[in-house]
């Protein structure tokens, strides 16, 4: 059995890897730990072997001690690891202090026992022949003392750091540089993610705008096709009436006289009577044809006037709005001589609508329904938004003969403060409309269950409710 000094010599410290090393086996390590902790039960503790990692482990003083046979590294884990690490470091300090004392004693002995034949530094360490220079040996010993002092300082630093290995200044600088680079990369990735999200949001707005433009173009094409079909029908009717020629009785008789040659009367009176009867029959037939042709022309003219009257009775309604109206299905709303056109401008504010409404004013519709203002509420007060909407409608009224109707803002749940602003804005609009030649559509019954996941736009049920409110207003004003 090895004594404690021999066991103590098996323990060392690798400053490059910051690990304790054990040059002997796991059994001797158990004995060493039991000696320094004054616990004999550790020597008989069970040893677990991990063949895959070539490692032995055992428990001591609330911690687990692992010895890797290939690298001789000792790893201490558990709640008592800090205390055991301090004890290991203290044993290393004692060991090095003893080595320094021996070196000092050997140096003193070597300086006092100099001879011509042999210069002895230590009887157990080095024998120097008379050919070696004494100054070189002393300088070498001095270098060894410096290195041992440096090692002692390192161990003191470990103890002062609570048993944890303290990194050198160069390692600290490397870690700080690496941390700085990682932070920069993280910031770059965050900025890139934000730019990508903004780009995605812009693309969604573009898609919404294109969808609205598509629906507007489809409605325009349908309107143009209907107008073209009506025009062709009127032209055909006009051509058919212009082709018919109506002759007076005198003209028809002269024509018939030109076609029928006049024969001189013959001696036989029967033949002359027969010719007169035929003339009378032909004359009756011509009169009947003339009456039938006159009746046809009258019917054609009455049909044409009826179609024109229907066109005059048809009412054209244009809905101008932001993305809230994108779910309105104009083809279902167009019925009972009411032709509806929806123009959606996602993200539009009240000031934007002043420009977007110019093409609609040129088309001169019968009624313009404005649904705008929800995009202004995030940065403006309810009073300001309501006044801007009223001013917009006043400007539209001055530039068109169409009836102007304001569609009330629908509820929002994406922001509680904006939801309250919606109610205040609708209340102010009602008070303004009452003293002007404007109409107001109250959408207060469109609740939160009629919104989609965004808490802003309408779902299918909400769009249907908004369309119903608009149609009720259009029918009542028709």
**20 - beta bridge partners?**
13, 74
Which CATH number do you get for residue 404? 3.40.50.1110
Same domain (yes/no): 104, 19: yes
Q: What's residue 171's pLDDT?
A: 65
| 241-263 b/e (C-beta count within 10 Å ≥ 16 → b) | eeeeeeeeeeebeeeeeeeeeee
Same domain (yes/no): 321, 307: no
Q: What's residue 467's pLDDT?
A: 95
Q: What's residue 258's pLDDT?
A: 46
Same domain (yes/no): 283, 410: no
- Give me the helices (H) in 314-365, please: 330-333, 350-356, 358-363
Same domain (yes/no): 87, 138: yes
Q: What's residue 103's pLDDT?
A: 66
Is residue 320 within 8 A of residue 356, CB to CB? The reply is: yes
Same domain (yes/no): 398, 362: yes
* 393: in domain: yes
* 249: in domain: yes
Q: What's residue 139's pLDDT?
A: 72
Q: Chunked in runs of 10, what are the mean pLDDT values of the chain (478 residues)? A: 78 84 88 86 87 88 88 88 85 73 63 45 44 64 82 77 57 79 89 88 86 84 76 53 42 43 40 48 56 51 52 82 94 89 95 94 94 94 95 93 95 92 94 88 94 93 94 82
Q: What's residue 233's pLDDT?
A: 56
* 386: in domain: yes
Same domain (yes/no): 277, 373: no
Q: How far is CA 302 from CA 214, 240, 299, 307, in A?
A: 39, 14, 5, 9
Query: How many structural domains is the chain composed of?
Result: 3
Same domain (yes/no): 467, 324: yes
Note down the domain range covering 294.
244-261+273-312
Same domain (yes/no): 279, 319: no
> What pTM value is reported for the model?
0.40
- Quick one: CA dihedral 93, 94, 95, 101, positive or negative? positive
Distance CA 168, CA 154 (A): 10
| Cβ partners under 8 Å of residue 337, min gap 6 | 310, 313, 314, 315, 478
Structure tokens at 206: 């573009």
Residue 373's nearest CA partner among 355, 351, 357 is 351
């Amino acid at each position: 059995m090895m004594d404690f000094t021999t066991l103590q010599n098996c323990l060392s410290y690798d400053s490059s890897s910051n690990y304790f090393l054990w040059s002997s086996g796991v059994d001797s390590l158990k004995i060493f730990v039991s000696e320094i902790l004054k616990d004999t039960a550790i020597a008989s503790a069970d040893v677990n072997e991990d063949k895959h990692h070539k490692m032995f482990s055992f428990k001591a003083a609330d911690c687990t001690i692992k010895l890797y046979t290939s690298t001789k590294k000792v790893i201490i884990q558990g709640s008592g690891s800090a205390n055991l690490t301090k004890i290991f470091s203290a044993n290393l300090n004692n060991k090095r202090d003893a080595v320094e004392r021996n070196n000092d004693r050997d140096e003193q002995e070597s300086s006092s026992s100099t001879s011509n034949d042999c210069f002895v530094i230590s009887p157990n360490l080095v024998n120097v022949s008379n050919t070696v220079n004494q100054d070189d040996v002393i300088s070498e010993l001095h270098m060894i003392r410096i290195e041992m002092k440096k090692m002692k300082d390192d161990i003191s630093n470990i103890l002062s750091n609570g048993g944890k290995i303290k990194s050198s200044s160069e390692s600290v600088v490397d870690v700080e540089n690496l941390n700085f680079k990682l932070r920069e990369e993280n910031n770059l990735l965050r900025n890139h993610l934000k730019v990508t999200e903004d780009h995605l949001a812009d693309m969604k707005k573009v898609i919404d705008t294109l969808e609205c433009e598509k629906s507007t173009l489809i409605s325009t094409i349908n309107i143009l096709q209907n107008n073209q079909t009506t025009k062709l029908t009127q032209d055909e009717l006009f051509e058919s009436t212009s082709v018919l020629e109506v002759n007076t009785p005198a003209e028809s008789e002269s024509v018939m006289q030109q076609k029928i040659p006049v024969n001189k009367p013959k001696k036989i009176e029967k033949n002359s009577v027969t010719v007169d009867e035929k003339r009378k029959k032909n004359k009756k037939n011509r009169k009947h044809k003339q009456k039938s042709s006159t009746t046809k022309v009258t019917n054609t003219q009455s049909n044409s006037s009826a179609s024109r009257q229907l066109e005059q009775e048809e009412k054209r309604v244009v809905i101008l709005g932001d993305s809230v109206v994108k779910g309105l299905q104009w083809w279902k709303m167009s019925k009972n001589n009411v032709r509806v056109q929806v123009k959606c401008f996602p993200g539009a504010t009240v000031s934007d609508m002043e420009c977007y409404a110019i093409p609609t004013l040129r088309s001169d519709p019968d009624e313009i329904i404005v649904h705008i203002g929800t995009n202004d509420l995030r940065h403006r007060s309810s009073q300001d938004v309501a006044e801007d909407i009223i001013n917009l409608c006043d400007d539209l009224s001055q530039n068109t003969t169409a009836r102007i109707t304001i569609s009330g803002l629908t509820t929002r749940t994406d922001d509680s403060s904006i939801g309250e602003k919606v109610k205040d804005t609708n209340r102010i609009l009602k008070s303004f409309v009452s003293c002007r030649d404007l109409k107001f559509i109250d959408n207060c019954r469109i609740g939160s269950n009629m919104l989609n996941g965004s808490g802003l736009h309408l779902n299918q049920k909400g769009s249907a409710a908004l369309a119903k409110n608009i149609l009720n207003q259009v029918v009542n004003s028709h």
